[in-house]
Amino acid sequence: MNEPHPTRPDYEAELRKTGVRITRPRKVILSILSDAGDHPDALEIFKRAVEIDSGISLSTVYRTMKLLEEIGAIHRHAFEGGPSRFEPAGEEHHDHLIDIETGDVIEFHSARIEELQEEIARELGYDIVRHRLELYGRKRRAGRSARGG
């Protein structure tokens, strides 16, 4: 076995399938995406890429992100304020909690909320094509008020 990573999508295969050339810059960017545990923006991806191959340009990062987004291989998130941030599209659907102090992104999922969204849209006569649920918050200060654990 020689897949790029365990439980990570095989981007190169996905690309070839779409008739897209596997170039040096793309290889680098794809590997970065594959083992990104976070939600990096284009500039961050570019920095990590330069570390591997100094010849890569920011334009190519942008172009590649757009390409990957179009073929559905990654998701683009436009969180408040900053630039777009990306993540592999492999995982199940989830929404995000953004730590407004650190910028950290925490993933969560609520089947109940998803249902309610559908219900609301239906009542309004709409079909949901996509949605965006983002919670912006800060770590609760360690000061349990009630009988907290």
Least Å distance, CB 86 to Zn ion, is: 17
51 contacts Mn ion (rule: CB under 5 A): no
Q: For residue 118, what is the DSSP state?
A: H
Decide: residue 64, CB within 10 A, 0-12 exposed, 13-18 middle, 19+ buried.
buried
Q: Build a one-symbol-per-residue string for 52-81: x at contacts with its own copies by CB under 8 A, - elsewhere.
A: --------------------------x-x-
Binds its own copies (CB under 8 A): choice among 7, 129, 143, 147: 129
Nearest Cα to Cα of residue 110 among 127, 135, 137, 88? 135
Whichever of 35 and 91 has its CB closer to Zn ion, that residue is 91
User: Distance between CA 69 and CA 141 in Å, rounded?
Assistant: 38
105 touches its own copies (CB under 8 A): no
Does 83 participate in binding its own copies (rule CB under 8 A)?
no
Structure tokens given for 85: 């941030």
Q: What's the chain's Rg over C-alpha atoms?
A: 18
C-alpha to C-alpha distance for 98 and 28, rounded to whole angstroms: 28
- The residue among 12 and 95 lying less far from DNA, judged by its C-beta, is 12
The region of 11-19, 63-71, 84-92, 121-129 touching its own copies under the rule CB under 8 A is: 121-129
Residues in contact with Mn ion by the rule CB under 5 A: 87, 107
